[in-house]
Structure 1
Amino acid sequence: MQTLEQIIKNRILILDGAMGTMIQKFSLSEEDFRGERFADLPGQQKGNNDLLVLTRPDVISEIHRRYLRAGADIIETNSFNSQRVSMSDYHCEHLCRELNLAAAKLAKQCAEDFSTEEKPRFVAGSVGPTNRMLSMSPDVEDPALRSITFDEMEAAFEEQIQALIDGGVDAVLIETIFDTLNTKAALYAAEEVMKRTRRVPVMLSVTIADKAGRTLSGQNIQAFLASVARPEIFSVGLNCSFGARDMKPFLMELANDAPYYVSCYPNAGLPNSLGQYDQKPEDMAEQVSEFVEEQLVNIIGGCCGTTDAFIAQYPKLVEGKAPRVPKSRPVNMQLAGLDRYELRPNSNFANVGERCNVAGSRKFLRLINEKKYDEAVQIAMKQVEDGAQVIDINMDDGLLDAEKEMTHFLNLLAAEPTVARIPFMIDSSKWNVIRAALKCVQGKCIVNSISLKEGEEKFVEKASEILRYGAATVVMAFDEQGQATTYERRIEICSRAYKILTEKLHFPPQDIIFDPNVLSVCSGIPEHDRYALDFINATKWIRNNLPHVHISGGVSNLSFSFRGNNYIREAMHAVFLYHAINAGMDMGIVNPATSVLYSDIPAERLKIIEDALLCRTSDAAEKLLNLAQETLSEKLQSKADDKADNYAAMTPQQRLADDLRKGVETHLEENINILLGEYPHAINIIEGPLMDGMNKVGELFGAGKMFLPQVIKTARTMKKAVEILKPHIEAEKEEGASSNGKVLIATVKGDVHDIGKNIVSVVLGCNNYEIIDLGVMTPAETIVEAVLNNHVDLIGLSGLITPSLDEMVNTVRALKEANISIPVAVGGATTSEMHTALKIATEYDGPVLWVKDASQMAIVAAKLMQEQSRDKLVSEICQRYETLRREYETSQTETTSLEQARRGKLNLFE
């Protein structure tokens, strides 16, 4: 007879419906729940349905059989709350085992009675989420408090899953998930049980808490998927939450992303004011049929309010229908806090904030020592504001209880959405601290670090545990012989570690971050002079020879010899990052608020620093030391005065653009006030010097001479400038001026950046357009609804990060499905004319226009509002896009597979 794994490949399977709803149809007394078996249990009331597997097995058996007769392929055990966390009144693990064992055997017997060769039936062991949360405090006054520990939760799940597997279940279904950390405990428990018994598929089903698509603990679906990613996962899905209609957008998101089979078992609509479900089986079937027709699911069923009558509608829905094909496993690193962060090789550099490290920040150490945790949390928040995409957290200090402090601080950060939305890097040299931290984080974090210095056995042991907790890891270039200091030793150790991790443990290569050791240069020891160059060359080798991995480093180590000279240190870091990133380094622990830009370093100084870091000349280190002494001499003050004089000699326009490029707000209002007297309209200042400054920032960022934290710093300055100008712009608007049109604008889902969008809003508003601003992180369905409700003339979609490109495609598809064809303008740092032509415009029936920068938006909008100019513009754009598509297709070289090439090789001896 076929297994569950075999049969799901070929058809959509049917899961049963609600157990509680069916139980309510039987006339059961309190005695049916208690019976003599539980007469001595205090406080037990009617309503604990799990007890019925012992007191009324006939009722539970009949419910199973009704669902099987209705066509269910999979039935769930009546064990949702059968673990000692939810049944805390009992204090009895033996009862929990008895309940799970009985529930599994009862369901298994029913499934076997209905199984045939053509239609085998299966049993999923139901594991509920418990009534506790590992990610949130039960006390609003104490955000670090937890009502239960990870170990206590894991032990309860382990007892339950052990009994279910002993009872014969075919799969374990961890369902109605509202806290991902609870799920991690359940997954850890399942793996522990299956190591000593037998393996069965593990199914997950999450419940969404609101229309924003987040769980009760705050994660969105993408973050949840990244956090629970494991090789042993069989399926992921959605249950409870809403009815089928409201669940569909979230199911589409899940189906579009998950590398597993997908399940969905919604409620019978939404409950009425009395808590009852009014939806009819036929109505729910009509909605669920969309899941089937659009190939969104592999398993369908029902949750609250559904009965066998609902499940009986499904066989005809799935008959002959193709199941969803799971997506390929991701090849990019996917980390998560409350949101997902994806890092792709050769994409933007990922900045890891370094200030929550007691070894690297005296202020942070002092705050932790003094128990001033609120201020310590503010440091984390400031790093996020400054552009950190990951926060490094380290509590290793001889006078601290590192494990206790790490746990407490992580629990506090979980209550701060600003920080909790991004991933954490758990940084410690003590394995007990890392393990404790992994039990606190619901997202997917990075462990910093492991190495081969204690030998292969310890390395494998730690990497295996990291894999079980679902984290990525930094691998330092150390082995039994010590730290790698040469190019040859760096690539030797990294190659060996990669082979062990990927071949022995099947560790996802995209979750490996190699740190080939950033070491101090110009220390006076000649052997140290090649450290930076060897790191860069090793980075290049790793990128070319170890597929999918990432490369990181602690950049501040590089300039340790120049402590006290911040200018030289930051200049060295900027130069090093420029070359290392070009070689393939895509992550690093740096100060996100650094002020020295690669492009700002004078040519003479730049040559000296590059000669030293790239080891170009024998006297390079000596010259750099001389430069360091020079910058600390009296000449430095003279040059600072010259710089001040140069600033004063600039025109106000130049000063404003320079301030913007450097993210300096000191003279912002002063310069703007001068320019208000020179320009006829305040809006001209935005369209002129401010846009010039932003365009320069874009050029530097694209050339790798500015990094994202610096870009964000300039964006904050731009926002401040717009805020200063806004009252003047509003005052200049004509009283009673009629609207030129209605524009809806939004930053797409998954993206929180809004500076460009806000500038566009101001520019268009000044040109008498009515603006509907939907803000950031805007789902496609919200945009569609707003367009339909407001009768807009133009849609503007904004995005800064690479995943925004895919979301723009999803958005225009949703607009097309709603029969909307009004013009769509797209813009933002990652957008391009080529991508718009190839990927976005082809998915939409109306015109899609790529707008290079905010200053162009008013021109584009004006042309679109007039019929004659609109037709001409759209025609030109369509021709331009068609030309780009042809050029792209022509440029794509067709390749032959290796197998084909070998078959067609030239044989000289025939």
Structure 2
Amino acid sequence: MIKDFRGELKKRLMLSDGAMGTVLQLKNLLPKGLLPESFNVSEKINYIKDVHKSYFTAGSEIIVANTFGGNRIKLAEYGLSDMLYAVNFNAVKAVKEIAGDRALVAMSLGPTGKFIYPVGDLVFKESVEIYKEQIKAGLDAGADIFQLETMIDLQEVRSAIIAVKELCDKPIIAMMTFDNTFRTILGTTPEVFAIAADSLGADVIGANCSVGPAGIYEILKKMASVTEIPLISKPNAGIPKLIDGKTVFPGKPEDFTVLISELALIGVRVISACCGSNDLFTRALKGEIDTINKSGLPEKGIKKESGLFLTSRTDFVSCGYNHPPIVIGERINPTGKKDFIEELKNGKTNYIRKTALKQVEAGATVLDLNVGVPGTDEINLMKKGIIAVTSVVHTPVSIDSSDPAVLEEALMLYPGKPLINSISGEEKKLAKIMPLIKKYGAGVLILALDDAGIPETAEKRLETAYKVYQRLVDYGIKSYDIIIDFLTLPISAGQEKAMVTIDALSKNKTLLNLPTVLGISNVSFGLPKRSYINSSFLSLCIKEGLSASIINPEDNYLMANFYAINALLGKDYLFKNYINKYSAEARDYAGNSNREKNPDLASGKTVGVQLYDAVVHGEKEHIAHYVEKLLSDGDLPLDIGNKYLIPALEEVGRLFDKNIYFLPQVMESAEAMKIAFSRIKRELPKSGASTGPKILMATVEGDVHDIGKNIVSMLLENNGYEVIDLGRNVKTERIIEEAIKNKVDFVGLSALMTTTVTEMEHVIKELKKHNLKVFSMVGGAVVTDDYAKSINADIYAKNAMEAVEKIKQYLSRPISGNI
């Protein structure tokens, strides 16, 4: 009997089961287009039980219930939403009947198939409720563990973990799926996922599906560098191949067993297998696991770096302890900025976007976001601000507000682990904000003050800060998610005040040894030439161990001092940051430096250049005005597209290819382009221009996944093509009918499931049979270039940007005659 899953993880390796869907497929028990979860409410549940029995007999200690697609959205696609409770309850109960108390039952929680706002249209709160519906059924049936798997959206992971924790204290296993670049489709890295899931309170984290055992091992090594919590390895049996129209997973059990010792060494404590595996894999894994457990677990070979970690959706920043000091940009704050205040009152975010870009280019590694203006809706402005910042930079955000309602809305919307700025020892604020920090997994800045005010001495500030720190830790907030602000007071009100702060930093090194942060510019308030005072004060603070500085990164004098003092004190290893900043040859792309890469547009901020920038950075507020101005100045519609819009999208594509931009940024740029192009289209008939080529897009019959297809369709429309999107689960007959009816130039086919990908070949054969002279393109998670060639498709595209580029190339050529 396994009573304490969390306790067992500290002592030994544990064995979970293998695949469900691909086992059913191999036995010809899962017809094309049928949801495995539908078996849970029919006599076919016996097929599911037979698979569970095979894994239990083979030695699995954790059996995963057949609930992966059991959420409301997925079930609705198959007309099963009204049976949600039964689908999930029956699945968990079925495992319970087989395993009893001799194995643990894990309830599988899979993706909904929708992105969370603003990338998609699913609201975060609704996502939490969707998962809670599933979880309630699982709890009633006796689930022991809740297992998130094959997740691609970090926001969906966050919502599912929060859903579990709102209902129970059961253990959580959380996994995302990564491609061969070690990122998710939205650009999240293993480290970012691990940091966020750790702070949210997951018990085990890892990766499943996607790449094979060797690839998963590399992904888990990255996770191990930023977390101490146990890991899970659940790879596919290799990358699937289509051979003679059948999906074949080439991996063997020995591909898994050979890596178990190395996995244990990096902190893996749960071993499993995903698509293409069966009970033979489980038997082989059990033998190797038993051998390791008898000899005892090895000490973890990869040590987590100490410090506070903050993330955006795609990148992370570390500070404190042995990490170099970081810069938190302070400029997105309305204090003393009349134009910004006016913009906020009008609900605009142009200043936020531009200032975010400038600060990151100047060296900020975190951006403070403050939109508090009396008489405005701070909740709405904060949400707009977060969307504005995250759409133009990958830098983590510090949410600067003292209003719990504002903080909660911001924490739901923010796609990562932000910093909360700030909390103090004031009892009323503590009581309201502590639950938010814990629930949403944020970092938190502690101010060294309480209801009695700001302590006068360094010793008292340490004492006050530690009391708040201990209060947070006792509440369940992780110690490594906390950073201390010993407060900077203006020396104009007392010259001794700076030295009190510096003394507190010095004492912290030996007494508390916690990461520290200061708002540097406060020190010079009321004095002339403030940058000189700020720079000197900054140097003194960094020497005494300051971890993070809230400063103006656009102050060149201050930043030069920042880079120089870090180089002199040995905090900038091999002068990497100093050289990158001040050696022109070493500068990487930052913010809006695309000017250097587009010499034709380098003549200055003309209206055309502003239009180009707006598309590249996804700035939608003024883009219609730029187009209107160019048209009124006499620019022809097609000239605007060819000179500014198309080059801008090409730049976005270049940034995407280099992993500088990711899907959210691409979609923001596409939306901006859509606004511009919709205005231009109104002028096209006047100029005698014809509409672009017609492209028909469809997800093939039996497949209900359409995220990738929808993105391709949107990008094509914004490149001037006429797109006819037939949706998902489209019969071959309808594709042929619509292709003939609309006289299309191109047919694009998408499939995500191994059971439906062969339908592509059927469609292409029918296109040829009807003698349709069109190009064809195929894509999707299980589609490969080799498979595309084998079915005579003209194009294979691995992602949306590549699809658009290849379509451009092929439409400029004569039709090949493949079909």
Q: 2:542 aligns with which of 568, 578, 581?
A: 581
How large is the Cα RMSD of the aligned pairs?
3.5
The farther-off stretch of 7-16 and 167-176 is: 7-16
Q: 1:344 aligns with which of 298, 320, 338?
A: 320
Residue 173 (structure 1) shift:
0.6
Find the residue that maps to 2:492 and give its secondary structure.
Answer: coil
Instruction: Pick closer, same or farther for the CA change 1:410–1:324 going to 2, 3 Å.
Output: farther
Q: 2:261 aligns with which of 290, 293, 297?
A: 293
Name the CA distance, whole Å, in 2 between partners of 1:155 and 1:135.
Answer: 15
Name the CA distance, whole Å, in 2 between partners of 1:703 and 1:180.
Answer: 32
* Corresponding position: 1:267 with 2:267: no
Match of 2:777 in 1: none
Name the CA distance, whole Å, in 2 between partners of 1:697 and 1:292.
Answer: 45
Match of 2:40 in 1: 53
Residue by residue, what CA displacement relative to the aligned partner does 1:290-324 show, whole Å, maximum 9, x if unpaired? 22132443322222222334334333333312456
Residue 442 (structure 1) shift:
2.4
C-alpha contact 1:351 1:709 (8 A) present in aligned 2? no
1:612-631 equivalent positions in 2, closer than 5 A? none
Find the residue that maps to 1:320 and give its secondary structure.
Answer: helix
Q: Name the aligned partner's letter for residue 715 of structure 1.
A: S
C-alpha contact 1:484 1:517 (8 A) present in aligned 2? no
Match of 1:110 in 2: 98
* Corresponding position: 1:122 with 2:83: no
Name the CA distance, whole Å, in 1 between partners of 2:116 and 2:370.
Answer: 21
* Corresponding position: 1:466 with 2:437: yes
Match of 1:15 in 2: 16
Match of 1:2 in 2: 2
C-alpha contact 1:298 1:324 (8 A) present in aligned 2? no
* Corresponding position: 1:188 with 2:175: no
Q: Name the aligned partner's letter for residue 139 of structure 2.
A: I
Find the residue that maps to 2:56 and give its secondary structure.
Answer: helix
Name the CA distance, whole Å, in 2 between partners of 1:251 and 1:703.
Answer: 28
Q: 1:551 aligns with which of 516, 535, 540?
A: 516
Match of 1:161 in 2: 135
Residue 492 (structure 1) shift:
3.7
Q: Name the aligned partner's letter for residue 227 of structure 1.
A: A
Instruction: Pick closer, same or farther for the CA change 1:410–1:284 going to 2, 3 Å.
Output: farther
The farther-off stretch of 221-230 and 368-377 is: 368-377
Name the CA distance, whole Å, in 2 between partners of 1:700 and 1:415.
Answer: 36
Instruction: Pick closer, same or farther for the CA change 1:712–1:343 going to 2, 3 Å.
Output: same
Residue by residue, what CA displacement relative to the aligned partner does 1:854-882 show, whole Å, maximum 9, x if unpaired? xxxxxxxxxxxxxxxxxxxxxxxxxxxxx
The farther-off stretch of 572-581 and 256-265 is: 256-265
C-alpha contact 1:236 1:261 (8 A) present in aligned 2? yes
Instruction: Pick closer, same or farther for the CA change 1:510–1:58 going to 2, 3 Å.
Output: closer
C-alpha contact 2:254 2:284 (8 A) present in aligned 1? no
* Corresponding position: 1:244 with 2:213: yes
Instruction: Pick closer, same or farther for the CA change 1:245–1:466 going to 2, 3 Å.
Output: same
Name the CA distance, whole Å, in 1 between partners of 2:542 and 2:561.
Answer: 21
Q: TM-score, normalised by structure 2?
A: 0.65
1:323-722 equivalent positions in 2, closer than 5 A? 323=297, 331-337=306-312, 338-345=314-321, 347-359=323-335, 361-370=337-346, 372-374=348-350, 376-416=352-392, 419-420=393-394, 422-453=395-426, 455=427, 458-487=429-458, 489-502=460-473, 504-523=474-493, 528-547=494-513, 549-562=514-527, 565=528, 568-596=529-557, 700=568, 702=570, 713-716=581-584
1:63-74 equivalent positions in 2, closer than 5 A? 63-74=51-62
Match of 2:184 in 1: 215
C-alpha contact 1:592 1:710 (8 A) present in aligned 2? no
Name the CA distance, whole Å, in 2 between partners of 1:468 and 1:440.
Answer: 14
The farther-off stretch of 300-309 and 347-356 is: 300-309
Residue by residue, what CA displacement relative to the aligned partner does 1:601-660 show, whole Å, maximum 9, x if unpaired? xxxxxxxxxxxxxxxxxxxxxxxxxxxxxxxxxxxxxxxxxxxxxxxxxxxxxxxxxxxx
Instruction: Pick closer, same or farther for the CA change 1:316–1:409 going to 2, 3 Å.
Output: same
Residue 329 (structure 1) shift:
6.4
Name the CA distance, whole Å, in 1 between partners of 2:161 and 2:274.
Answer: 22
Q: 2:285 aligns with which of 298, 301, 314?
A: 314
Instruction: Pick closer, same or farther for the CA change 1:168–1:314 going to 2, 3 Å.
Output: same
Match of 1:82 in 2: 70
Percent identical: 27
Instruction: Pick closer, same or farther for the CA change 1:7–1:483 going to 2, 3 Å.
Output: closer
Name the CA distance, whole Å, in 2 between partners of 1:292 and 1:459.
Answer: 45
The farther-off stretch of 55-64 and 19-28 is: 19-28
Match of 2:123 in 1: 149
Q: Name the aligned partner's letter for residue 517 of structure 1.
A: L
Residue 152 (structure 1) shift:
0.8
* Corresponding position: 1:134 with 2:110: no
Residue 577 (structure 1) shift:
1.1
Instruction: Pick closer, same or farther for the CA change 1:702–1:232 going to 2, 3 Å.
Output: closer
Find the residue that maps to 1:82 and give its secondary structure.
Answer: coil
Residue 271 (structure 1) shift:
2.2
Instruction: Pick closer, same or farther for the CA change 1:662–1:396 going to 2, 3 Å.
Output: closer
Name the CA distance, whole Å, in 1 between partners of 2:432 and 2:74.
Answer: 33
Q: TM-score, normalised by structure 1?
A: 0.59
Residue 571 (structure 1) shift:
0.5
Find the residue that maps to 2:435 and give its secondary structure.
Answer: helix
Residue 517 (structure 1) shift:
2.2
Residue 387 (structure 1) shift:
0.6
Find the residue that maps to 1:397 and give its secondary structure.
Answer: coil
Instruction: Pick closer, same or farther for the CA change 1:350–1:363 going to 2, 3 Å.
Output: farther
Find the residue that maps to 2:142 and give its secondary structure.
Answer: coil
Find the residue that maps to 1:481 and give its secondary structure.
Answer: coil
Q: Name the aligned partner's letter for residue 108 of structure 2.
A: S
Residue 62 (structure 1) shift:
1.6
> Unpaired runs of 5+ in structure 1?
31-44, 139-146, 599-660, 664-693, 724-774, 779-910
Residue by residue, what CA displacement relative to the aligned partner does 1:463-511 show, whole Å, maximum 9, x if unpaired? 2320221111111233223344554542342132123223x22433332
Q: Name the aligned partner's letter for residue 124 of structure 1.
A: A
Instruction: Pick closer, same or farther for the CA change 1:364–1:91 going to 2, 3 Å.
Output: farther
Find the residue that maps to 1:473 and give its secondary structure.
Answer: strand
Name the CA distance, whole Å, in 1 between partners of 2:347 and 2:201.
Answer: 41
Instruction: Pick closer, same or farther for the CA change 1:536–1:776 going to 2, 3 Å.
Output: farther
Find the residue that maps to 1:175 and give its secondary structure.
Answer: strand
Q: Name the aligned partner's letter for residue 502 of structure 2.
A: I
Residue 585 (structure 1) shift:
2.2
1:722-737 equivalent positions in 2, closer than 5 A? none
C-alpha contact 1:80 1:128 (8 A) present in aligned 2? yes
Larger Rg: 1
C-alpha contact 2:174 2:197 (8 A) present in aligned 1? no
Name the CA distance, whole Å, in 2 between partners of 1:441 and 1:23.
Answer: 39
Instruction: Pick closer, same or farther for the CA change 1:458–1:136 going to 2, 3 Å.
Output: closer
Residue by residue, what CA displacement relative to the aligned partner does 1:427-484 show, whole Å, maximum 9, x if unpaired? 112221111111122222100011222x2x6414412320221111111233223344
Residue 167 (structure 1) shift:
1.2
C-alpha contact 1:75 1:124 (8 A) present in aligned 2? yes
Count of aligned pairs: 582
Residue 93 (structure 1) shift:
7.4
Residue 231 (structure 1) shift:
7.8
C-alpha contact 2:424 2:450 (8 A) present in aligned 1? yes
Instruction: Pick closer, same or farther for the CA change 1:249–1:437 going to 2, 3 Å.
Output: same
Q: Name the aligned partner's letter for residue 284 of structure 1.
A: K
Instruction: Pick closer, same or farther for the CA change 1:708–1:476 going to 2, 3 Å.
Output: farther
Find the residue that maps to 1:574 and give its secondary structure.
Answer: helix
C-alpha contact 1:346 1:584 (8 A) present in aligned 2? no
Name the CA distance, whole Å, in 2 between partners of 1:707 and 1:586.
Answer: 18
Name the CA distance, whole Å, in 1 between partners of 2:70 and 2:421.
Answer: 37
Name the CA distance, whole Å, in 1 between partners of 2:375 and 2:149.
Answer: 43
